[in-house]
Amino acid sequence: MGQTMTQKILAAHAGLDKVTAGQLIKCKLDMVLGNDVTTPVAINEFEKAGFTSVFSKDKISMVMDHFTPNKDIKSAENSLKCRSFAGKYDITHYYDVGDMGIEHALLPEKGIVASGDCVIGADSHTCTYGALGAFSTGVGSTDMCAGMATGEAWFKVPSALKFNITGKLPEYVMGKDVILHIIGMIGVDGALYKSMEFSGEGLKNLSMDDRLSMANMAIEAGAKNGIFAVDEVTKAYQQGRVSREYTVYEADPDAEYEEVYDIDLSEIKPTVSFPHLPENTRTADNWGDVKIDQVVIGSCTNGRLEDMEMAARILARKHIAKGVRCIVIPATQSVYLECCKRGWMETFINAGCAVSTPTCGPCLGGHMGILAKGERAVATTNRNFVGRMGHPESEVYLASPAVAAASAVTGKISEPSEIM
C-alpha cells in the first residue's frame, strides 16, 4: 500500500523510507511558529527547563498579532517578553507592529514556509500552510518550546480523508464556502486525528487565497492537517517569494484513504455557519431573516488580497445599513498597502466601514470589535463558539467575504446576488 502526501512528508522528515498510519515518529522541523499569546508560555518553559540556545535562529517565527497593537498592560508585557527573547537569540523572523501581519497570512506571503516543509506552530490555524503542499499542524506552547530547543517534534502518523475536487466555483462563491460546506458535511470532529487531502482536476480553478482559507479551517473539522496537491498555481505563488529549494511530494496512486469525498465546485452555494459550531451550516434557502449588528471582514481565514477585492467589489458605490458596524481588517501590511493603491480603502471608508491595521483582534474576542450581550455578527473568521467574539450571549455567523459584505449592506444575512 502506498503513502499519502502527508505520510511522505513525515517519512522524509523522520529519515524513514515509509511510514504507516498510527506509527509514532520523531520529525525534523523546518519552521517553529508562535504568537504573542502562546510564545510567552513557551519562553517561560524554555527558561524553566534551562535551555540556553535555539536549534536555528532562521527556523523560528514569532508574530505579534493577537492582542496587538497591544490592548492593555498585560498584553504589552507579553509582547515585551517575546521581543526580548527574539533579540537575545537573534530570531530572524520576528514580526512586530509595523511589519507584522496575521501569522498565517504573513508566513506564506513572505515565502517563509514552502511546499514539502514540516512545520509546527503554537496556534491551531497553523494548518493553513497545507495550502502550499506542506505538512503543517498546530501544537501548544510546550511543543513550541521543545521545537525551539531541539528542532524536532513527535507525531502519530495520521490516516487520511481524500477530497476529490472537480468543477469551478460559481460567481460570488469562494473557498470559504467550500470548506464550510465540507465541515457541515463531516462535522467538527469528522476528521479527528486525520489529514484532509485535497486534489483533483478542479484544483486548478481554486486560487491560492481560496486554498489558504480552506486549509486554514481543516482544524475546525478536527483534522491534524489539511494539505493540497502542488500544481502550477502553487508554483506560481511561490515564485519570487520562496528563495530556497523546496520539495514537491505527491501521494502514491495506491495511497490509503479512510474515505473519499467528491466535491463538485460548481454545486457549492454561499454557506453560513450558524451559532455555535462551524458544522451548523446552512445555505441561503435556510437562512431566514437574521438581523445583524456587526460585520468583520478579515482574519487568518479571510484577510488576504482576494478577500479584500471581493469585499470592495460588493461595497463599491454602496453604503452599509444603518445600525450596522462593519470592521475591515487587511491581514498583512502588504495587503493593507494594496488596498490603498487599488482604491479599495476609499471604497471601504465611503461605504461606512472602519478599517484596522492587521490584528487577530475581534476573531477571538480579543479587542477591536467585541460584541455586547445579545448582539449578532457575520464574520469571515473561523470559529463561532459560545462567547468567541465577546459576551457569552452574543452570536457569530461564519461566512465568506462576499456574504459578509452583502450582509453589511442589507443589515441581515444576505446573498451577494441580492444586491449585485
Partner 1 sequence: MKVKGTVHKYGDNVDTDVIIPARYLNTADHKELAAHCMEDIDIDFVKNVASGDIMTAGQNFGCGSSREHAPIAIKASGISCVIAATFARIFYRNAINIGLPIMECPEAAADIEKGNEVEIDFDTGVITNITKGHSYKAQPFPDFIKEIIAEGGLLNSLKK
Q: Which residue type sits at 284? A: A
Residues 334-353 that bind partner 1 (CB under 8 A): none
Query: Cβ(157)–Cβ(194) under 8 Å?
Result: no
Q: Is 47 in the site for partner 1 (CB under 8 A)?
A: no
Residue 390 has which C-alpha cell? 465577546
Q: Contact with partner 1 (CB under 8 A): which of 58, 189, 201, 418?
A: 189
Which residue, 72 or 259, has its beta carbon nearer to partner 1?
Answer: 72
DSSP three-state, residue 255: strand
Collapsing DSSP states into helix, strand and coil, what is residue 204?
Answer: helix
Place of cell 480579543: 366
Given the rule CB under 8 A, which of 52-60, 120-128, 328-336, 397-405 is the region that contacts partner 1? 120-128
For partner 1, which is the closer residue by CB, 202 or 358? 358
Applying CB under 8 A, among 58, 72, 264, 418 the residue interacting with partner 1 is 72
Residue type, 297: I
Give the whole-angstrom CA distance, residue 39 versus residue 252: 37
Interface characters, 24-43, with partner 1 (x: CB under 8 A): x------------xx-xx--
267 binds partner 1 (CB under 8 A): no
Q: Rule CB under 8 A: is residue 140 a binding residue for partner 1?
A: yes
364 is a site residue for partner 1 (CB under 8 A) = yes
> How far apart (Å, rounded) are the C-alpha atoms in residues 252 and 202?
19
Distances in Å between the Cα of 159 and the Cα atoms of 1, 2, 3, 316 are 13, 12, 10, 45
Partners of 377 in the β-ladder: 294, 396
Q: Which residue has the cell 498597502?
A: 337
CA distance 169 to 243: 32
Q: Where do the DSSP E strands lie in 8-96?
A: 24-28, 31-35, 60-63, 93-95
- Closer CB to partner 1, residue 121 or residue 416? 121
C-alpha cell at position 291: 438581523
Shortest reach from residue 70's CB to partner 1, in Å = 9
Question: Minimum Å distance from CB 22 to partner 1?
Answer: 9
Q: Does 373 bind partner 1 (CB under 8 A)?
A: no
- Residue nearer to partner 1 on the CB measure, 112 or 188: 188
Site for partner 1 (CB under 8 A): which residue of 5, 63, 67, 94? 67
Q: Among the candidate windows 121-129, 238-246, 349-357, 404-412, which touches partner 1 by CB under 8 A?
A: 121-129
Question: Among 185, 202, 188, which Cα is nearest to 259's?
Answer: 185
Residue with cell 522541523: 29
Q: Pick the piece of the chain touching partner 1 (CB under 8 A) from 56-64, 106-114, 177-185, 359-367.
A: 359-367
Q: Does 222 bind partner 1 (CB under 8 A)?
A: yes
Specify the residue, 41 or 212, whose C-beta has the smaller distance to partner 1. Answer: 41
Which of 69, 130, 366, 369 forms a contact with partner 1 (CB under 8 A)? Answer: 366
Span from 96-104, 117-125, 329-337, 397-405 in contact with partner 1 (CB under 8 A) = 117-125
Residue 418 three-state SS: helix
Euclidean distance between CA atoms 293 and 90, whole angstroms: 45
Of 45, 65, 103, 375, which lies in the binding site for partner 1, with binding defined by CB under 8 A?
45
Which lies closer to partner 1 via its Cβ, residue 82 or residue 206? 82
Separation of alpha carbons 173 and 188, rounded Å? 22
**How far is the C-alpha of 209 from the C-alpha of 175, rounded, in Å?**
8
The region, left, alpha or beta by phi > 0 then psi within -120 to 50, assigned to residue 82 is alpha
Which segment (110-118, 185-193, 231-239, 344-352) binds partner 1 by CB under 8 A? 185-193
Are the CB atoms for 259 and 162 separated by under 8 Å? Answer: yes
Pick the closer one to partner 1 by CB: 57 or 391: 391
Q: Which of 103, 123, 209, 307 binds partner 1 (CB under 8 A)?
A: 123
- Count of positions on this chain that bind partner 1 (CB under 8 A): 50
Torsion, CA 92, CA 97, CA 102, CA 103, rounded to 10: 20
Site residues for partner 1, 144-173, by CB under 8 A, read: 145-146, 149-150, 154, 156
287: nearest Cα among 383, 416, 189: 416
Q: How far is the CB of 317 from partner 1 (least distance, A)?
A: 36
**Which residue of 101, 130, 133, 138 would you call a contact of partner 1, by CB under 8 A?**
138
**The length of the chain, given as a count of residues:** 420
Q: Using CB under 8 A as the criterion, which residues of the chain lie in contact with partner 1 when the complex forms?
A: 24, 37-38, 40-41, 44-45, 48-50, 66-67, 71-72, 74-75, 78, 122-124, 126, 138-143, 145-146, 149-150, 154, 156, 188-189, 192-193, 219, 222, 224, 277, 364-366, 383, 385-388, 392
